[in-house]
Structure 1
Amino acid sequence: MTQPPPVPPEYPEPTGRPHQPQVPPPPYPQQPAPQTPPGTRPHVPPQYPHVGAQAPRYPQAPQYPDTSAQAPQYPSPPPYPQAAPPPAPDSPLHPHHINTDRGRVHVSGRQRHTDATAFSNLLLHLPNFLCSLVVVGLVSALFGGFGVLVVLAWLASGALVFHRPTESALARHLLRLRYPTPQERAKLEPVWREVTARAGVEGRNYELWVEDSDGLNAVAAAGHIVGVTRFAMNQLPNGELAAVMAHELGHHVGGHAWSSLLGYWYALPGRIAWRVLRAVTGFMFRVSQVFSCFGVLFFGLFVGGLALATISTLYGLPLLLLAVPYALAAVGRRSELRADQHAAALGFAPMLAAVLQKLHHQEQQAAALTAADGGAPVTETPVSKLLSSHPDYYTRLHHLQPYLQPTR
């Protein structure tokens, strides 16, 4: 038989306040609904959710990839092509490098000739030669009966231009040249052999010399001397070095070198006499200044009378001496153009144009350094242009254009 559940005991109320029954609070007065005018929709207040109601569920934010993960590897762009360094001057890849491995060489029967430039040079030195002859004649009068031998010895001394020991002394002491070392000779001789082979000239008739200079230059002197600077030998490709040598060979083949030296030699007594006369005249002028204006006037009358007597006696020939330097400079410029044409005809026109450009660049650098150091820039006047023995860069390059144009 089932027992009924136990009933909890009744606990007594706490003493103090008597137990009062709980009365519900009075209801709040209801606000009257607003009267809606006819023809309009009634106002419905918004229904706010209950405080205890569940909040609406918003869509979840998208999941972005973790940035700490490894980024995809994209292929790297191809590297830009780098400019290749220019080849060394002695590299076979240089555009002006030539092959000097030549077998048999054809030598022409005519090795030299005297062209119009050499003949003009000799003709223009004739006034200087006559003045020198007068000076030598006056000096030979001091030797009495042996004076004629002195004049004849001076006239025969011109043959020393073609004397090899005299040429060597001239190259060593006047031109400051030296013999090349075995290493330098091994570098110069193959290039010289190629130049003379193209020209049909026997290269052993000439001597190669070296000048210890950092400038780009070369020289053709006397009858058999071809000199190049150390800079040209070490810094130029062998094709450009060959162009320089071919240019100097053109001076020898055309007779420019020996005619210039011969004219200079026979004009030397007149040049020495002129310098002595200038020194004496300058000394007399300084002495005349001591006697104020009267001494200067007397000196001017004396020198003017002497010059007038000399000109009238020699039928005005001394006046030609004033024009000789300008004419000789013009002939010198023409001989340089002839030597350029000789080198270009042997196939060295592009190399020679590159050498001329380097020479022009060196001149511009020298002018810029002079201006940077505060020096006065060298301005070329019309007189200096007329007295220049070498044409300017643009003139020489203009005369090379027929050889630089491609053949059809």
Structure 2
Amino acid sequence: MTQPPPEYPEYPAQAAQPQVPPQYPQEPPTYPQQPPTYPQAAPAYPQASPAYPQATPTYPQASAPIPPQYPQTPPQSPTVPAAPAAPPVPPTASAPPPPGDPAHPHHINTDARRVHISNHQRRTDATAVGNLLLYLPNFLCSLCVVGLVSAFFGDLAFVVILLWLASGALVFHRPTESALARRLLHLRYPTPQERAKIEPVWREVTARAGVEGRTYELWVEDSDSLNAVAAAGHIVGVTRFAMNELPNGELAAVMAHELGHHVGGHAWSGLLGYWYALPGRIAWRVLKVFSTFVFHVSRAFGCFGVAFVVLFIGGIAVATVSTLYGLPLLILGVPYALAAVGRRAELRADEHAAGLGFAPMLAAVLGKLHQQEQQAQAALTAQNGGVPVAESALSKLLSSHPDYHTRLHHLQPYLQPQRPY
């Protein structure tokens, strides 16, 4: 039999609520004026900085130490004025090592090693040949002077001329070289301590050049300037300053430069030309002194006496020039030509030193020489009341050494790094 579905109770329908908006209070609620009192669980914070005890607190010696009670707020430390900031210290450049220090960049190793001697110890380059040719007018004038003097010896006049011509061989005579080094160049033999310093450097230079170092003699000049000299045929002199104040690499560069003068024939050709020109130079100085004396004497006779002396000396000069086909006039330009050849010889010697591997050292030496020249120029300016002393064009033409910038320019190919192949 089928049961009927259960009957569910009917719920009364909800009454329709009116659509009236809620009524909000017109005034804000009144809050209590005093803050609520909270429990005393949290400690009260002190309003001022706590006073610390002046003495060291005594801690209890109990077995279980009790940690001290610190205030919850950090104490206000007294304000201490900040110290002024120290000015920044500029970085100081480290001082270069002393000249004798192996750490110096221009220090070289001078340990003895096997030396390969080249077949050609010396040569005569174009500079040496040109130097001899330029001395030819001076030589002819000297020959005339010697011929006039030899006339006083009668039948031995020809012998006197031959002896003078043969005297040029004394340039290569060792005792004569020593006498010239002492008297004219003011050189001396080095002491044992100085020899122990410069001989290893010289051995390194000659080893690189393939030259027998014992062929030459080392001399020293007591000077506080940076300089060196190649004299006669076998003398290499350096100053005391160069020996003591330069690193051995820079000293080797200076010696290699002087060796270049010897190897190229500059030293002996210059001295030989000077020797054969000496009688003419002596005669010229005697004529100058005699002319000055005659001119002062002629002033006592008035204008007539001066005119007579001038005409007399002028007549002799014109007769001499016309007789010798104007050759004496060449002597006026010889000093400028010799100075030009000398400057070229200096560049050749620089190239010789640079070719041996001393280009950086030689550039450093040239820089020091340039500084010395600037200091000397500044001293002359100070003596002249602050007005710079300009070098005349003629003095530049008579200079036997090129200027610093020219020499450094010719060293540039040796200072540039070599390209790997």
TM-score, normalized by length of structure 2? 0.79
* 1:139 and 2:149 matched: yes
Mapping for residues 314-329 of structure 1, pairs under 5 Å: 314-329=324-339
* 1:269 and 2:256 matched: no
Instruction: State which of 233, 240, 248 in structure 2 corresponds to 1:223.
Output: 233
Mapping for residues 34-45 of structure 1, pairs under 5 Å: none
d(CA) in 1 for partners of 2:418 and 2:161? 56
Q: Which residue in 1 is equivalent to 2:416?
A: 405
Q: Which residue in 1 is equivalent to 2:404?
A: 393
d(CA) in 1 for partners of 2:111 and 2:316? 66
Offset, 1:311:
0.9
d(CA) in 2 for partners of 1:179 and 1:262? 24
d(CA) in 2 for partners of 1:62 and 1:114? 102
Instruction: State which of 341, 351, 359 in structure 2 corresponds to 1:349.
Output: 359
Mapping for residues 91-240 of structure 1, pairs under 5 Å: 91-240=101-250
Deviates more, 1:306-315 or 1:110-119: 306-315
Cα 1:110–1:69 shift into 2, 3 Å: same
Cα 1:156–1:340 shift into 2, 3 Å: same
Percentage of identical aligned residues: 76
- Read off the aligned partner of 1:170 and give its amino acid letter: L
Cα 1:302–1:79 shift into 2, 3 Å: closer
- Contact between 2:381 and 2:389, CA under 8 Å: does it hold in 1? no
Offset, 1:373:
3.7
| Secondary structure of the corresponding residue to residue 100 of structure 2 | coil
Gapped regions of structure 2 (runs ≥ 5): 1-44, 50-73, 82-87
Mapping for residues 222-261 of structure 1, pairs under 5 Å: 222-261=232-271
Offset, 1:180:
0.3
- Read off the aligned partner of 1:260 and give its amino acid letter: G
* 1:286 and 2:300 matched: no
Q: Deviations over 1:281-313 (max 9, x none)?
A: 111111111122222222221121111111111
- Read off the aligned partner of 1:171 and give its amino acid letter: A
Structure number with larger C-alpha Rg: 1
Q: Deviations over 1:309-341 (max 9, x none)?
A: 111111111111111111101000000000000
Instruction: State which of 394, 402, 419 in structure 2 corresponds to 1:383.
Output: 394
d(CA) in 1 for partners of 2:327 and 2:376? 41
d(CA) in 2 for partners of 1:83 and 1:307? 66
- Read off the aligned partner of 2:410 and give its amino acid letter: H
Offset, 1:399:
0.5
Cα 1:246–1:60 shift into 2, 3 Å: same
- Read off the aligned partner of 2:167 and give its amino acid letter: S
The number of equivalent residue pairs is 344
d(CA) in 2 for partners of 1:292 and 1:328? 41
Cα 1:80–1:311 shift into 2, 3 Å: closer
Cα RMSD after superposing both structures: 2.0
Q: Which residue in 2 is equivalent to 1:309?
A: 319
d(CA) in 1 for partners of 2:329 and 2:393? 21
d(CA) in 1 for partners of 2:245 and 2:325? 55
Offset, 1:278:
0.4
- Contact between 2:298 and 2:305, CA under 8 Å: does it hold in 1? yes
Q: Which residue in 1 is equivalent to 2:58?
A: none
d(CA) in 2 for partners of 1:369 and 1:305? 46
Q: Deviations over 1:243-269 (max 9, x none)?
A: 000000000000000000000000000
